[in-house]
Amino acid sequence: MSRRLPAPKAMNAARPIPQLQPRPYVGVTPPAVTVATIVERDGRFLLIEEETRYGLRLNQPAGHVEAGESIVSAAARETLEEAAWRVDPTALVGIYQWRSPDSGTTFVRFTFAATPRRHEPNRPLDTGILRALWLSYDDIAARRDLHRNPLVLQSLDDYRAGTRWPLGVIANL
């Protein structure tokens, strides 16, 4: 003889299940994704001198990743646009997160080691870039007060310490 079990009662049957609605990210600003290159030639490093709202500053060739662009390609492009040097990125030196105390903007910066391939001296540089120059590590460290941000020296120190990651650690799907 088979016995019939009563129909199961739904949990919380008295309460309707609320529909989940996506919440807007109020007050949340996504970080700016940027790239930079460390280019070494004969013991000197390629830097750019740029005009900022705080006066002249030194930086590695650097800039923002554009829509649809790979991070590695962005690094090579920015180096060409800012320093008039064609380079081949060879390794990832580091990924750095930094919050600007002035603007509050958070930056996530991918810094690459790159080999200089060809200089294009007649190429115009990006707006605000005064010149590209090759400086020794000691010259760069001595001008710390002119660095665009602390990422300049931190990434250079990591490079000099031998920090390198294969480019393949960045998947472009």
Q: Determine the Cα–Cα distance for residues 118 and 93; give it in Å rounded to an integer.
A: 22
The radius of gyration of the chain from alpha carbons, rounded to an integer in Å, stands at 25
Contacts of 36 (CB under 8 A, 6+ apart): 59, 60, 61, 62, 75, 78, 109, 110, 111, 112, 151, 155
What CA–CA distances, in Å, run from 124 to 86, 119, 127, 168? 13, 12, 9, 32
Task: State residue 127 phi and psi, 5-degree precision.
Answer: -55, 135
Q: Name the nearest CA neighbour of 36 among 78, 66, 99.
A: 78
Judge contact between 97 and 106, C-beta under 8 A: yes
Task: State residue 80 phi and psi, 5-degree precision.
Answer: -65, -45
| pTM over the 0.95 mark | no
Blockwise average pLDDT, block size 10, the chain, 173 residues: 55 62 72 97 98 95 96 98 98 97 94 98 96 98 97 98 97 89
Looking at residue 4, what is its pLDDT? Answer: 62
Which structural domains are found in the chain, ordered by start? Answer: 32-166 (3.90.79.10)
Looking at residue 29, what is its pLDDT? Answer: 83
Question: Strands 106-119 and 32-41, how do they pair?
Answer: parallel
Looking at residue 11, what is its pLDDT? Answer: 52
